[in-house]
């Protein structure tokens, strides 16, 4: 198994879903995990769960859409034991076509998904450069790779994340900083359950099964499956991998009819 023993890993949006699974997987493999989330209570709950298993984790509140907040948080994180790994997982979703996307909707998606990832990398890169080492992993989406109905703003943001991944990987090769991304298809997270409850009351299970069958493998992915790939890509076993996007999509990209 890939080892992250004593690596300091910052995982954003780790209060739930994919981020939580990544934080727990990293901690179980010996990493010292910094859980960053806009909701401090959720971050603390995840940290306490990890600590209960006699693993190392701390919780940190941060509004990644604010550069001032992000710089302050990473200054605190980098001054201590440093940061070896940054996982840009935090993000929000939006459903709608171009015409159904208001200026405010687009700004909000951009500020969190695009500017948020930028703020975290901008805050962390100087520290990684000084150490001449570091790993950045961006959680993108297949929405940034193919056309999906009613996902105009979200797809825009994830396409930008892919472009940032390639650019950062290229620009910081000389500093031994690797940067990759994972592009999941539909993953079964609390967000999915909340979306179904809000938009399809009484038909949650029916729509859940329909959405699951939309992927060639016949089901949604699990957060733990994203975490397993993230653990490998952030480990020393993946030292030869940089500037690469990894679809985790149940066959959606290549096997859909």
What are the structure tokens assigned to 182, written together? Answer: 């994972």
Same domain, 171 and 204: no
Same domain, 16 and 41: yes
pLDDT score at 1: 59
Cβ 17 vs Cβ 91: under 8 Å: no
The residues, ordered by sequence, that sit 6+ positions from 157 with a Cβ below 8 Å of its Cβ are 91, 109, 110, 113, 114, 144
Cβ 21 vs Cβ 227: under 8 Å: yes
Enter the pTM of the model: 0.95
Same domain, 68 and 136: yes
Average pLDDT over residues 142-166: 96
- Domain of 209? 189-221
pLDDT over 90, % of the chain = 94
pLDDT score at 113: 98
DSSP 8-state assignment for residue 111: I
Strand partners, 60: 36
pLDDT score at 75: 96
State the CATH number of the domain containing residue 140. 3.40.50.720
What are the structure tokens assigned to 18, written together? Answer: 């994919």
Average pLDDT over residues 64-89: 95
pLDDT score at 208: 94
Measured distance CA(256)–CA(216) in Å, rounded: 6
| H or E element, residue 60 | strand 57-61
Exactly one of 154, 166, 172, 200 is catalytic; which is it?
Answer: 154
Average pLDDT over residues 91-98: 94
Give tens-digit pLDDT for 172-231. Answer: 999 999 999 999 999 999 889 988 998 899 999 999 999 999 999 999 999 999 999 999
154 is catalytic: yes
Total domains present in the chain: 2
Q: Which residue from 174, 178, 220 is spatially nearest to 196, judged by alpha carbons?
A: 220
Average pLDDT over residues 110-116: 98
Q: pLDDT at residue 96 above 70?
A: yes
Same domain, 87 and 30: yes
Give tens-digit pLDDT for 19-76. Answer: 999 999 999 999 999 999 999 999 999 999 999 999 999 999 999 999 999 999 999 9
Same domain, 134 and 239: yes
Same domain, 203 and 123: no
Q: Which residue from 146, 148, 114 is spatially nearest to 245, judged by alpha carbons?
A: 146
Average pLDDT score, the chain: 96
Average pLDDT over residues 92-104: 95
Same domain, 34 and 55: yes
Q: Which residue from 91, 17, 19, 8 is spatially nearest to 57, judged by alpha carbons?
A: 8
pLDDT score at 195: 85
Same domain, 130 and 196: no
Average pLDDT over residues 119-136: 97
Q: Which residue from 7, 89, 6 is spatially nearest to 46, judged by alpha carbons?
A: 89
pLDDT score at 81: 82
Same domain, 57 and 170: yes
């Amino acid at each position: 198994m890939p080892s992250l023993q004593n690596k300091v890993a910052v995982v954003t949006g780790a209060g739930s879903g994919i981020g939580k699974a990544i934080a727990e997987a990293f901690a179980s493999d010996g990493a010292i995990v910094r859980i960053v989330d806009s909701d401090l209570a959720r971050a603390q709950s995840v940290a306490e769960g990890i600590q209960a298993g006699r693993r190392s984790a701390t919780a940190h509140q941060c509004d990644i859409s604010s550069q001032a907040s992000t710089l302050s948080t990473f200054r605190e994180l980098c001054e201590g034991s440093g940061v070896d790994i940054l996982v840009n997982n935090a993000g929000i979703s939006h459903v709608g076509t171009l015409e159904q996307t208001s200026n405010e909707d687009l700004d909000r998606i951009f500020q969190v998904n695009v500017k948020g990832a930028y703020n975290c990398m901008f805050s962390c890169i100087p520290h990684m450069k000084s150490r001449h080492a570091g790993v950045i992993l961006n959680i993108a989406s297949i929405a940034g790779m193919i056309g999906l109905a009613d996902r105009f703003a979200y797809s825009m943001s994830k396409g930008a994340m892919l472009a940032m991944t390639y650019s950062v990987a290229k620009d910081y090769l000389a500093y031994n900083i690797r940067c990759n991304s994972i592009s999941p298809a539909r993953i079964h997270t609390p967000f999915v359950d909340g979306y179904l409850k809000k938009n399809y009351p009484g038909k949650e299970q029916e729509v859940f099964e329909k959405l699951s069958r939309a992927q060639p493998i016949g089901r949604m992915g699990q957060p733990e499956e994203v975490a397993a790939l993230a653990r490998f890509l952030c480990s020393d076993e993946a030292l030869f991998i940089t500037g690469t996007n990894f679809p985790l999509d149940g066959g959606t990209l290549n096997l859909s009819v």
